[in-house]
A and B are shown apart, each in its own frame.
Chain A
Amino acid sequence: MPRSKPRSELAFRLGTGAFGVILVGIVAAIGIVLARQSMPSIQKFGLNFWQTETWDPVVGEFGALPFIWGTLYSSALALLIATPIALGIAVFISELCPTALRQPLVFLTELLAAIPSIVYGLWGIFVLVPAVRALESATPEWLRRWPLFSGPPLGLGMLAAALVLAVMVVPFISSVSREVLKSVPVAQREGAYALGATRFEAIRAALFYARTGIVGAIMLGFGRALGETMAVTMVIGNNPRISTSLFAPQYTMAAVIANEFTEAADELYLAALVEIGLVLFVITLIVNSLSRLLIWSMNRTARAVVTPEPVKVAA
């Protein structure tokens, strides 16, 4: 064996490994850079930052509670709307639809994911918001008295944001769910049919089997909704007020950074915005890691299913 081989092997490993280091380094750098820039704000406000409602740049009082509320509320609502639809699509494409339709449908759902956020925002301002405004104006008086539907019919607000987010999140949840459903062992489904199950019951069994993976898919969608910026800021009304009403304009973490970043005119203001960015980073990191863990563990249990070996006949 020529002696150059182990050395070239090492060079190859180090060479490509270096690029791997760059990748890891970038992720670490994001966390470090964000933490450093937000130091002034962390030192001044500490944990109060997450409990105060006031966002007042005039007096330098920064409380991020309205943004957390807006982000969580809009993402949760979006998931509520998107999950049943996304799962329905995943089930339809993987179990129920005729083979000829499969490819076109997959392409169409991918298209939903590929449309740029700004285009959704544009459509949101000019088409969705007026429609939501009309819907809000048409809400009957007795419904208006509930806090969920209180407030003037602006169109802009939590409902419009949740709808846009739901549309954007559906393709993610559906494509990951489809992958998850694919890894459910065929034996499982066939066993159900052999026992006389209807389509619904067999699929329900498969869904139950894949539940960890599906929860992972939903969480992935949640992570996506949390970080969405452009489409949301164009339809949510940009008002840092905590409200349970669907009609009220509110604010999300990503939207406030986009709107106020270029003009945070002093160190503290800038640090406060970066701190919000840092928290967004950490939250999405946790949600995405958790979701991948769930999907991975589901894949592992699915693969561990032992397929029956053919019986060896004595020769």
Chain B
Amino acid sequence: MASSASRFALAIACAAAIVAAPAAQKIQINGAGATFPYPIYSKWFSEYNKLHADIQINYQSIGSGGGIRQIQAQTVFFGATDGPMTPEQLLASPGRILHFPMVLGAVVPVYNIPNVRAELKFTGAVLADIFLGKITMWNDPAIAKLNAGVTLPGTAITVAHRADGSGTTYIWADYLSKVSPEWKSRVGINTSVNWPTGVGGRGNEGVAGLVSQTPGSIGYVELIYALQNKISYGPVQNMDGEFAKASVESVTAAAASAASHMPADFRVSITNAPGKGVYPISSFTWLLLYENPKNKTQSKAMVDFVKWALTDGQKYCAELGYAPLPEAVVKLELAALAKIKTS
């Protein structure tokens, strides 16, 4: 009896030792947030891990709202968001949080209309009305007027939006508020809004899934999700009146004017930016870091990673549909990184 009990205890101790031991060598950093940049972040963390095998950066794409919440609760080391934190949220945080733009991306209107292969053109006003629930059929005159050569079916429009708190929603709502006063007053801008109509999916992935599986639907996703899943997306009219399709060039054009007047905290909106060839629904996406985090080892590792991502990492952007940051912005950021305490 006694020997079996002690043998049992020994076995438990061994198991515990095996489980606890490996944690010593690797530096594991946990982050969470936006689904918008998830493809490029996941590529970066994987590539960086190949260069530095002892640094594992675990990122979970739970939505920008989640990234903000979890970093405020300090259950993750860094957050990621496409909707910059509001002054109230910054004040409510236990320490000073800094924003670092990492890439530029575009939010595109994706749609799935049976038998329609052509590209549909949209204006901000039409998109706002669709998402407000005022335009309910695909063959509505407002849509038909923009797309003269296309036969639009008499099917109902199913709006797909985010069910979770999303920076992509923030960017979309930010744009719609600029082009539709009704949207601005009725719905507003936030990572989670009171949608007048539609079905909710989780993450960019969820909305892309909804649209690709639901005939007659329209949604909004980050460009790469439309490309990787081969869902149709259309050009949107910009401030200059041209219909611009989202691409590395049109998104870079949108950031051009912002680059010269970048605020010190990097929190700026570039939706509906003026200029030629600009894609109007473009945005920066930010990494959120505490200025003075408790774990200095993780802090040093993270700062090194951000430096790599802002320089070498930018070369992975184009193939995934993101636009690299303007040089001027990168310079400002590298300087700002010095503020973060790493020791």
A residues with CB within 8 A of B: 54-59, 129-130, 133, 152, 154-156, 237-239, 249, 251, 259-260, 262-266, 270
Residues of A within 8 A of B32 (CB): 262
Out of B156, B165, B187, B199, name the residue touching A263 (CB < 8 Å): B165
- B-chain residues with CB within 8 Å of residue A129 when the two chains form the complex: 213
User: Across the interface, which residues of B come within 8 angstroms of A264, CB to CB?
Assistant: 65, 69, 165
Query: Can you show 18 pairs from A to B with CB atoms below 8 A apart?
Result: A56-B194, A57-B190, A58-B193, A58-B194, A59-B188, A152-B156, A152-B158, A154-B158, A239-B198, A239-B200, A251-B200, A260-B165, A262-B63, A262-B164, A263-B165, A264-B65, A265-B65, A265-B72
Please give the distance in Å from B83's CB to the nearest CB on chain A: 10
| A170 to B213 alpha-carbon distance, docked (Å) | 29
Given contacts A237-B199, A239-B198, contact A263 B66 (CB under 8 A): yes
CB–CB A260/B199 < 8 A: no
B164 and A263 contacting across the interface, CB-CB below 8 Å: yes
Chain A residues with CB under 8 A of B188: 58-59
| B187 closest partner in A (C-beta) | A58
* Contact status of A58 and B200, CB under 8 A, knowing A262-B62, A265-B72: no
Name the residue on B nearest A264 (C-beta).
B69
> Known: A238-B200, A239-B200. Contact between A265 and B163, CB under 8 A?
no
Q: Give the contacting residue for A265; candidates B68, B156, B194; CB below 8 A.
A: B68
Q: Is B235 an interface residue (CB 8 A)?
A: no
> Assuming A59-B188, A263-B67, what are 8 further A-B pairs, CB within 8 angstroms?
A57-B165, A155-B213, A260-B192, A263-B165, A264-B165, A265-B69, A265-B89, A266-B89
**Which bucket holds chain B's interface residue count?**
35 or more
Check B192–A58 contact: CB distance below 8 A: yes
Question: A259 touches which one: B72, B158, B164 (CB < 8 A)?
Answer: B164
B37 at the A interface (CB under 8 A): no
Q: How many Å lie between the Cα of A270 and that of B68 in the bound state?
A: 13
**Interfacial chain A residues near B199, Cβ < 8 Å:** 154, 156, 237-239, 249
Determine the chain A residues whose CB is within 8 A of the CB of B237 once the complex forms: none
Given A238-B200, A265-B68, A265-B191, A259-B89 contact (CB < 8 Å): no
**1/0 contact string of B65-93 vs chain A (CB within 8 Å):** 11111101000000000000000110010
Tell me the B188-209 residues at the A interface (CB within 8 Å): 188-195, 198-202
Q: Which residue of the partner chain A has the closest CB to B165?
A: A263
> Which residues of chain B come closer than 8 Å to A239, judged between CB atoms?
195, 198-200
Report how far A265 CA is from B32 CA in the complex, Å. Answer: 13
- Chain B, 123-171, CB within 8 A of any chain A CB: 155-156, 158, 163-165
A260 x B164 contact (CB < 8 A): yes
Q: Is B219 interfacial (CB 8 A cutoff)?
A: no
Known: A152-B158, A154-B158, A154-B199. A263 touches B63 (CB 8 A): yes
